[in-house]
Structures are given as structure tokens and as C-alpha cells.
Amino acid sequence: MTALIVRGDIVVKGSLYAAQQKIHPQSVTGTFRRLKWALLWLCLGIFYLLPFARWDRGPNLPHQAVLIDFDHARFYFFPIELWAQELYYITGLMVLGCLALFLSNALIGRAWCGFVCPQTIWTDMFVWVERRIEGDRRERIKLDAAPWTGAKIAKRAAKHAIWLAMAASTGVAFVLYFGDAPTQIGRLATLHASYQPWLWIGVLTSTTYGFAGHMREQYCQYVCPWPRIQGALTDPDSLSVAYRIDRGEPKMSLKAAAKVREAGQPAGDCIDCNACVNVCPAGVDIRLGYQAGCIQCGLCIDACDATMRKVGRPTRLIGYDTDDNVRRRANGEASTVRLVRPRTLAYAAMIAVIGAVMLFALATRQSVALSVQHVRMPMYTMLKDGSLRNGYALRIANKGGEARRFSISVEGVNGATVTCDEAVAMDGDRPVVAVAPDSDQSFLVFITAPSGGAAAPSGPVAFRVVETVGGESSTASDHFFGP
């Protein structure tokens, strides 16, 4: 896009937008790079291997430890089994995840982005493959500028082939969470899988290849909303990667600094080597201050520490610090770190309360659930003897691993009788129905109130199902209708 740009009295024709400069991050070793590798392998190991973990739930239930079973509307996580009606637990987990992000941001800034975000993890893997094939930063820059030769084509073809294989493995691992993993692999290998797994493998392959192989830092800057949101969640006491201006300035070459110090003049420790910029996966110059592109991965800290050790200066010219400390040091004041403050205490308290409520609800949840819906066609039936009959669809959920029987009773209608054509037995005047393990089943139940026996022409009625062996029960309410 071009436009007329006015500079003083001169009008020139130029572009409103600059082309995106490709970033070639240089390899680095150090504390934060080792931490990133450890977290990377931990996260990838969990992602790829978790579908193969087994958990014995009994003869009638799946044994995959983590499984999202859409066919039966179930979510399994080791001993926990959630039904579709219990999605509020998933909502609670999402709220906890958001609060955990808020807390981590208040403590150590964008640590999620720099260390365990999927985009960061897969980008690190793709860049590692690129380095192994095309070389480090200088070699890759030269290769980009070099003409297309057989060697360049071979390197690029090998790199993209491995990228596509890694991206496809991401899609395959993803679909394994939605069915028995060994069975799914067998179906995929023999091309007997339905179109849905292949569709999702294609989606994950293309997005992983595009985001980690090509967009990289542009995804973080222009697509992900978190860099903008976290700005509202950070305060001056939040730790983030920062450049110590009081130590680094004025920056100059090593020889110039030595001469200045010999003359008794102050010289900064920064020798302007640009190592911090060269290793940054987003191309950020942290010496210019905090920027939205910085994911706070700490690689610039490792690069700067290595340079400081080589020139015999103290390390941590770049390090995790707070905005207040940067200001205090620039003014010659003492620095301090306050991790415990009202903001972090509030986030921690909310996480504790919501987590405790969820654990209590999970520990006390019943393995039987009842729902009832009035059959409104017709609303009621008046029999020859003047009695009134209402029909109800009862849905009983048996969340246990064994078949169970439940007796059905009602309250709220005087002298009422309960009948069910699908009853397998009678417990006194209460019909007993059988429900298969780990399933829910609907039953048509009729309540008949004798003539003049109903408390009112229309009134509430409560249903109660009781497990005939263990005594576990559940209740649900509706209305009894009359003239």
C-alpha cells in the first residue's frame, strides 16, 4: 500500500507498512535455555504419551486414563468420570486456568508465553530442526541470500519435510485423546479410520506447520490476544526481563570502555555486542525497555551473562526485575522485590476457594442422577372413575460401573399410585427399574390420583429414585396437572 508522505516541504511517495523482517535467532546455552528445554520435553512427553496411559475402571468402562468420549458424552481423567451434564467442572477448570495465568503474570510476567505456551514449544522445536539442517544464525542468513542451488533446495526440502512430519504427529496425538489410542493408531495405519480423525489431523498439521514454521513471533504479536491483555494485569512490582540501565549505560565497545575507565570516567558494562538481540526469538532489543513482542523467555539473559563472563564483568546486566526496581536503581535507590502483595493474595485466595469448592463437589457427587419431564400430550387424562392420570418421562443416570436397580416413589399427590410398564419388579407399591452400568435410561411413568385425592387441581410433585442395594438416591420435581 502506497501513500504520499509529507516531510517538511517535500512530498514523497512511500509505503505505509514495512515488510516483516525474518528473524534468525542464534543458539545460546545457559540457565534459562536449559529450563526451557526441560519444560519443552516435559510438556511434549505428556502430550504425546498421555493417551497411552491406562487406568482400570472395571469391565464395562474404557481403560484409557485420559479420554474424551463424544459418542457416550463422557470425559475420563484417571479416576474421574464427568458426564455431559457436569460440564460445570470444565468451566471451573477454565476459570482456575485463567486465574493461574493472572497470578503468574502478577508474579513473573509472561512466563507462560516464554516457557510453556504451545506456540513457544513447537516454535522452539521447529527452530532446532532448522539449525540442525541449515546451521546457526549466520549460516541461515547466508543461505537465505544465496541463489537457489541443488544444496539449498535439498536443505529446504529436508527441513520442510521434517516440519510437516512433526506437525502431522501433533495432529495424530491430538485425535488419540478422542478414542482408544492403540485402536485409533491401528485404524489410521490401515486407513480404516473415518473422515473425522483425518479432518482433525489435517487441521492440526496445517496450523502447527503454519504457526510454528512460518508465523512464529508474528502469531504472538498479531494473533494472540494475551500480550495485550497482560498489560492490564501487570503492576510495577511484577517481575519481567529488564535491562539494568544503571549498569549498562553509557554503552560502548570493550576497548572504548577500558580507555574511559582508565581516564577515571564512568563507562557502562554493555559493550553493544547485540548478543541479546540475536538470540531473541522475537527480535526484541530489551535495552530499549519492555516491549509487547518480548515473551520473557530469558534467552537474552543467558546471552548477556555469557558476554559478561568473557569480558570479566558481573553477570545479570539483563535479568528478571521489576519496573520499580529499574527506576530505583537508576536513581541510586535500594531495590526490593514484593511477591506477596494484595493483587497476588487476591488471585491466590480465589484459586484456593474455587479449587476447594470444586474438590468438595467432586468428592460428594452422587453416582445416580434423576431428571423428569412432564408428558404434555395430553396434559392429563381423566379416567372413568374420575381419577386423574399424568405421564412423566423419567431419565435415570447410573454413573457406576455395574448395573443397578432403582425404586420410584412420589410425594405431593395424596393417595397417588405409580406405575411403569418397564418395571422389572415391585418394592411394595413402588415400581423398580433396571439401569445398565455407566449409562442413562428413560422410563415412562404414570401417576394416578384417585378422585378427590389430589391436594389441588394442579400442584408440585416430587419424584425420588432409591438404589435398592446401596440406598443412594436422587430427587427431581415437576407438576401434577388437573382440570
Kindly report the average pLDDT of the chain as a whole number. Answer: 90
What is residue 454's predicted lDDT score, i.e. its pLDDT? 46
Number of structural domains (the chain) is 3
Query: How would you class 323 by CB atoms within 10 Å of its CB: exposed for 0-12, middle for 13-18, buried for 19 or more?
Result: middle
Residues 214, 257, single domain; the answer is no
Residues 43, 167, single domain; the answer is yes
Q: Is the pLDDT of residue 344 over 80?
A: yes
For residues 6 and 95, the model is more confident at 95
Q: Is the pLDDT of residue 139 over 60?
A: yes
Helix (H, G, I), strand (E, B), or coil: what is residue 272? coil
Q: Which residue has the cell 374420575?
A: 386
Domain of residue 279: give its range: 240-330
Residues 54, 144, single domain; the answer is yes
Residues 177, 252, single domain; the answer is no
Query: Model confidence over 361-396: pLDDT tens digits?
Result: 998 888 899 999 999 888 888 888 888 899 999 999
Q: Which of 183, 203, 232 is the last residue of a domain?
A: 232
Mean pLDDT for 58-74 is 89
Mean pLDDT for 258-287 is 90
Residues 51, 179, single domain; the answer is yes
Identify whether 37 is part of a domain: yes
For residues 416 and 50, the model is more confident at 50
Residues 61, 152, single domain; the answer is yes
Q: Which of 216, 232, 248 is the last residue of a domain?
A: 232
Residues 311, 162, single domain; the answer is no
Q: How far apart are CA 301 and CA 307, in angstroms?
A: 10
> Which of 140, 117, 116 has its CA nearest to residue 128?
140
Q: Is the pLDDT of residue 314 over 90?
A: yes
Identify whether 338 is part of a domain: no
Identify whether 352 is part of a domain: no
Residues 259, 228, single domain; the answer is no
Q: How far apart are CA 291 and CA 286, in angstroms?
A: 8
Residues 203, 250, single domain; the answer is no
Q: Is the pLDDT of residue 196 over 50?
A: yes
Query: How would you class 67 by CB atoms within 10 Å of its CB: exposed for 0-12, middle for 13-18, buried for 19 or more?
Result: buried
Mean pLDDT for 252-260 is 87
Query: Model confidence over 459-478: pLDDT tens digits?
Result: 889 999 999 888 899 999 99
Query: Model confidence over 1-50: pLDDT tens digits?
Result: 455 544 445 555 555 555 678 899 999 999 999 999 999 999 999 999 99
- Alpha-carbon dihedral 258, 261, 267, 271, rounded to 10 degrees: 10
Distances from the Cα of 436 to the Cα of 59, 181, 406, 424, angstroms: 13, 25, 11, 13
Residues 322, 393, single domain; the answer is no
Q: Which residue has the cell 399410585?
A: 417
Q: How far apart are CA 301 and CA 240, in angstroms?
A: 11
What is residue 293's predicted lDDT score, i.e. its pLDDT? 87
Q: Is the pLDDT of residue 147 over 80?
A: yes
Q: Which of 315, 330, 345 is the last residue of a domain?
A: 330
Residues 207, 278, single domain; the answer is no
Identify whether 425 is part of a domain: yes
Identify whether 21 is part of a domain: no
Residues 65, 188, single domain; the answer is yes
Identify whether 118 is part of a domain: yes
What is residue 455's predicted lDDT score, i.e. its pLDDT? 46
Helix (H, G, I), strand (E, B), or coil: what is residue 301? helix
Identify whether 337 is part of a domain: no
Mean pLDDT for 289-298 is 88
Identify whether 354 is part of a domain: no
The CATH number linked to 390 is 2.60.40.10
Confidence of residue 333 (pLDDT cuts 50, 70, 90): confident
